[in-house]
Amino acid sequence: MTAYAERSGFEIVAVVNETASGAKNDRVERKLVLDLARKRQIDLVLVPELSRWGRSTSDLRTTIEELAARQVGIRALNGPDLDISTAQSKLMLNLLAAISEFERDLLQERIKSGIAQKWSSCRTTCL
C-alpha cells in the first residue's frame, strides 16, 4: 500500500497496521485514523479492501459519512474510490457495505457449522 501511495503521489501522513477483526468497531488503529480526519490532517484513507475498514453495513456507512463530512475520502485498493456526494456513489457504498457484511455472516456460519460437525464427530468416536 505504501508503494501504491508513493506511485500515486500521495503524501503519507501515517501508516496504521490494523490486526484486529474488521467486524469490531472499537479498534484503536481505526480510532487513530478517525482522529487524524477530525484534525484535518488527512484527505484520504487508503485500505487494502473495504472490509478491513468495517464489516457492518451501518458502521461502514456511518464512518464513511463521517469521513466525507470532513472532506476525507476512502480508497480501497480492490475497489472504487468512495465519494458519497452523489446518489450513485451512496448506492455503491451501501451495496459494498452489504456485501462485506454478508461475507462476514457467511464466514461465521461456516465456522459454526465446522465446529458443530467436529463436535458431533468427536462425540460419536471419542466418547
Answer yes or no: is pLDDT of 95 > 70. yes
Answer yes or no: is pLDDT of 24 > 70. no
| 108: amino acid identity, one letter | Q
Q: Give the three-state DSSP class for 14.
A: coil
Predicted pLDDT at 127: 55
Distance between CA 20 and CA 76 in Å, rounded? Answer: 18
Distance between CA 103 and CA 45 in Å, rounded? Answer: 22
Across the range 49-55, mean pLDDT stands at 76
| Structural domains of the chain ordered from first start | 2-126 (3.40.50.1390)
Q: Residue 59 contacts by C-beta under 8 Å, 6 or more apart in sequence?
A: 25
Q: Look-up: residue for cell 500521495?
A: 10
